[in-house]
Chains A and B, each alone.
Chain A
Amino acid sequence: MTAVATRVRGTLGRFSPSRAARALGIPGVAAAALIAVVLTVTLLAPVLAPYDPDQPDLFNSLAGSSAAHPLGGDALGRDVLSRLMWGARTTLSGPVLIICLSTVVGTALAVTAAWAGGKVDAVVSRLLDVLFAVPGIVFALITVAVLGPGVTGVVLGLAVAYTPYVARVVRSAALRERNMPYVAAAWVQGRSAFAICVRHLLPNLRPIIVAQSVSALGFAVIDLAAISFLGLGVQPPTADWGLMVKSGLDSATRGQPLEALGAGLLIVLVVAAVIVLGDRLGKEGDQR
C-alpha cells in the first residue's frame, strides 16, 4: 500500500499540469498559452494559411482588410495573414537554433570551467567576459561580413554572442553544485569526472539551464528580427517578421499599415511571452 502510494506521489512529483500551473503563476500560464498558440499556428501554417505566402496578386496590392484577405495585401499583393503564418517559421526557427547552439556550447564550457577550476576556469571566465562585452548585433555583423548576408552567418554570430549569456549563470550554479558533499562522495567512490558532471551536475543544473536559455531565446528573437530588418539576415522574398516590419513601413506610408503592425505586434508579444516564461521558470528553479 505504502509502496504504491509512494510511487504515485513520486510520479506526480515529477510533472502534473496543475502543479506546473501553480508554479508558473497567471503570467507564466498566459505566456505559455500564447507560445503554444503561436507554435501550433507555425507548425500548421501549410494547412491554416489561406494563400501561398509568396504568390503575388496585383489586384490585392496594398489592399486593406477584406473578407478574402483579413489583413489585406502587401506591396506585391501577397496575403499578409499567410505571410505572417509562414514567416513565424523563419522568425522563430533561427533563434531556436541560436539558443540550442549557445546552450550546448555554453553549458559545456561552464561545467568544464567549474569542475576544473584554477587556470581553466580563469581562462574560460575571462573569455566569457570579453564575449559578454560585445553586443550580439556586432558579432552578427562580423560573421555576415565574412559569410555574406543570410541566415547562416547571423545564426553563427548570434550563437557566439549568446554563449556567455548561458555560460556565466550556469558556471556559478555549477560551482555551487560542485562543492556539494555528494559530489565529493562520488569522487571518493572512484567515479570519473565525466560521469559526475553528466550524471549528477547536469541533471541538477537543468532548471537553471532551461530558465536561462528560454530568456535568452526572447532576446535572440529581437536580435534576429532586427538584423533581418536591416537587410542582413533573412533575404526576400522569404516571409519573415523582421523583414515584414521593414517592407510594411513602406506600405504604411502608402495607406496599408496592417503588415508592419501585425509583424511588429507578433514580435513584441512572442518576445514578451518567452521572457516572462523564462523568468517564471527561473523563479521556480530557485525554489527547489
Chain B
Amino acid sequence: MSDFVIEAAGLRKEFGQAVAVDDVSFTLSRGQSLAVVGESGSGKTTVARMLVGLETPSGGSISVCGRPRRGGRVSSAERRRRAREIQIVFQDPYSSLDKLQRIGDVVETSLALHFPLTPAERRRRALELLEAVGLAERHASMLPRQLSGGQRQRVAIARAIAVEPEVLVLDEAVAALDVSIQAQILNLLADIRERSGISYVFISHDLAVVHQISDFAVVMSGGRIVERGDTRDLLRDPQEEYTQALRAAVPRPGWKPTRRQPA
C-alpha cells in the first residue's frame, strides 16, 4: 500500500461555463504538510472542498488513505468513515460555529458521532481536546459569541481533531486572524502534527504563513498548478513569473505601493 494519504489526479471542476479547477494533481505523504498557494479565485478553495467531499469533481480522481472517493450518493456509515480520514477547518471562525451551540457541545457532538463513549467519558475527552487547543474548562459552557476569533478557531480545530482524522484541510484557517494570533494558531498546528502525525493540506494566499507550516507547496493560478516544489526553495527562488509576482506582492518593511499614473 502506498504511503500517500491523498492522491489527486487530473482534478477538474466546472461551475456551468466557468472552469474553477483544471488538471490539478498532487500527492501528500503521511505526516507531511502541503501548501496550496494562490490568489483569490485561483481555485484553491474549490480544491479543498473537493478533498472533503463538499463538491464533486467534474473530472479526475481523489484517493484518500488509498481508497478512491466516488461521487454520488454515499451512505451515512461511509460518510462517517470518510470523516475519520479527512477533516476541514474553515476561514471564518465566526460562521463556522453554530451560534446557539455551546463550545463543549460542539466537541462532544463530534465525539458522539464517531466513538462509543459514555456521557462522562465523552465529557472528559471533550475537555481534554479543548485543553489540547489551549482552551480551559470554563470555555466549555460558553457560546461562540463569548469567544474571540482566535479562540473560536481553536474550537474549530478541536472539533476537527476530535474525529482523529488522518488529514486536516485548513482552508485559509488563519487568514481572518491578526498576526500575533496567527502565530499562536500556527504553533498549535505544528504541536498537533508533532504529537499525532496528522497530515495537513494548508490552503493559503499568505506566503509567510505557508513558509512556517508546510514542507511542500503547489502554486495555483487560474485553476491550474503553475509551480510546485519544496516550500523553502519555492519561496527563495521562484521559477515561474506568477510565483515571483505573488512573492513580490507581499508587503515588507520599506515597501511602497506603486502608484498608477494620474489620469
Chain A interface (Cβ < 8 Å from any Cβ of B): 2-3, 6-7, 10, 13, 180-182, 184-185, 187-192, 199-200, 203-204
| Contact yes or no, B100 A204, CB < 8 A | yes
Contact residues, B68-108 vs A (CB, 8 A): 76, 79-83, 86-88, 90-92, 95-101
Confirm or deny: B141 has a beta carbon within 8 angstroms of a beta carbon on chain A: yes
Give 4 nearest A-B pairs by CB, closest first.
A190-B80, A190-B83, A181-B96, A181-B90
Chain B residues with Cβ below 8 Å from A192 are 76
| Contact yes or no, B113 A185, CB < 8 A | no
- Which partner residue on chain B sits nearest A3 by CB separation? B138
Q: With the chains together, A6 CA to B113 CA distance in Å? A: 28
| Contact yes or no, A10 B96, CB < 8 A | no
Count residues of chain B with CB under 8 A from any CB of chain A. Answer: 35
User: How far, in Å, is A32 (CB) from chain B's closest CB?
Assistant: 24
- Which partner residue on chain B sits nearest A191 by CB separation? B113
| Contact yes or no, B138 A188, CB < 8 A | no
Known contacts A188-B87, A189-B83: A10-B159 contact under CB 8 Å: no
Chain A residues with Cβ below 8 Å from B160 are 185
Q: With the chains together, A190 CA to B85 CA distance in Å? A: 11
| Contact yes or no, B110 A188, CB < 8 A | no
| Contact yes or no, A184 B90, CB < 8 A | yes
Chain B contact residues: helix, strand, loop or mixed = mixed
| Contact yes or no, A187 B142, CB < 8 A | no
Mask of B123-156 contacts with A, CB within 8 angstroms, 1/0: 0000000000000001001110010000000001
Chain B residues with Cβ below 8 Å from A6 are 138, 141-142, 146
- Which partner residue on chain A sits nearest B52 by CB separation? A188
- Which partner residue on chain B sits nearest A2 by CB separation? B138
User: How far, in Å, is B108 (CB) from chain A's closest CB?
Assistant: 12
Q: With the chains together, A184 CA to B79 CA distance in Å? A: 13
Chain A to chain B contacts (Cβ below 8 Å), 22 pairs: A10-B142, A13-B143, A181-B95, A182-B95, A182-B96, A184-B88, A185-B156, A187-B54, A188-B52, A188-B87, A189-B87, A189-B113, A189-B159, A190-B76, A190-B79, A190-B113, A190-B163, A191-B113, A192-B76, A203-B98, A203-B100, A204-B98
Chain B residues with Cβ below 8 Å from A188 are 52-54, 83, 86-88
| Contact yes or no, B82 A185, CB < 8 A | no
| Contact yes or no, B141 A185, CB < 8 A | no
User: How far, in Å, is A263 (CB) from chain B's closest CB?
Assistant: 42
Q: With the chains together, A185 CA to B113 CA distance in Å? A: 13
- Which partner residue on chain B sits nearest A194 by CB separation? B76
- Which partner residue on chain A sits nearest B77 by CB separation? A190
Chain B residues with Cβ below 8 Å from A199 are 109
Other A-B pairs beyond A6-B138, A182-B95, A185-B88, 18, CB < 8 Å = A3-B138, A3-B141, A6-B146, A10-B146, A13-B143, A182-B96, A184-B54, A185-B96, A185-B159, A185-B160, A188-B54, A188-B86, A189-B110, A190-B82, A190-B114, A190-B163, A200-B101, A204-B100
Q: With the chains together, A189 CA to B76 CA distance in Å? A: 11
Q: With the chains together, A6 CA to B137 CA distance in Å? A: 12
User: How far, in Å, is B69 (CB) from chain A's closest CB?
Assistant: 13
Q: With the chains together, A204 CA to B98 CA distance in Å? A: 8
| Contact yes or no, A189 B163, CB < 8 A | yes
Q: With the chains together, A214 CA to B54 CA distance in Å? A: 37
Scoring A13, A182, A184 by chain B CB atoms within 10 A of each residue's CB, the highest score goes to: A182
Scoring B86, B95, B98, B100 by chain A CB atoms within 10 A of each residue's CB, the highest score goes to: B98
Q: With the chains together, A256 CA to B92 CA distance in Å? A: 67
- Which partner residue on chain B sits nearest A184 by CB separation? B54
| Contact yes or no, A7 B95, CB < 8 A | no
Chain A residues with Cβ below 8 Å from B97 are 182
Within 8 Å by CB of B143, from A10, A180, A184, lies A10
Contact residues, B187-243 vs A (CB, 8 A): none
Chain B residues with Cβ below 8 Å from A182 are 95-98
Chain A residues with Cβ below 8 Å from B141 are 3, 6-7, 10
Q: With the chains together, A204 CA to B155 CA distance in Å? A: 20
| Contact yes or no, A180 B95, CB < 8 A | yes
Q: With the chains together, A181 CA to B81 CA distance in Å? A: 21
| Contact yes or no, A204 B159, CB < 8 A | no
Scoring A2, A3, A6, A181 by chain B CB atoms within 10 A of each residue's CB, the highest score goes to: A181
User: How far, in Å, is A287 (CB) from chain B's closest CB?
Assistant: 13
Chain B residues with Cβ below 8 Å from A191 are 109, 113
| Contact yes or no, A185 B90, CB < 8 A | yes
Q: With the chains together, A204 CA to B96 CA distance in Å? A: 14
- Which partner residue on chain A sits nearest B94 by CB separation? A181
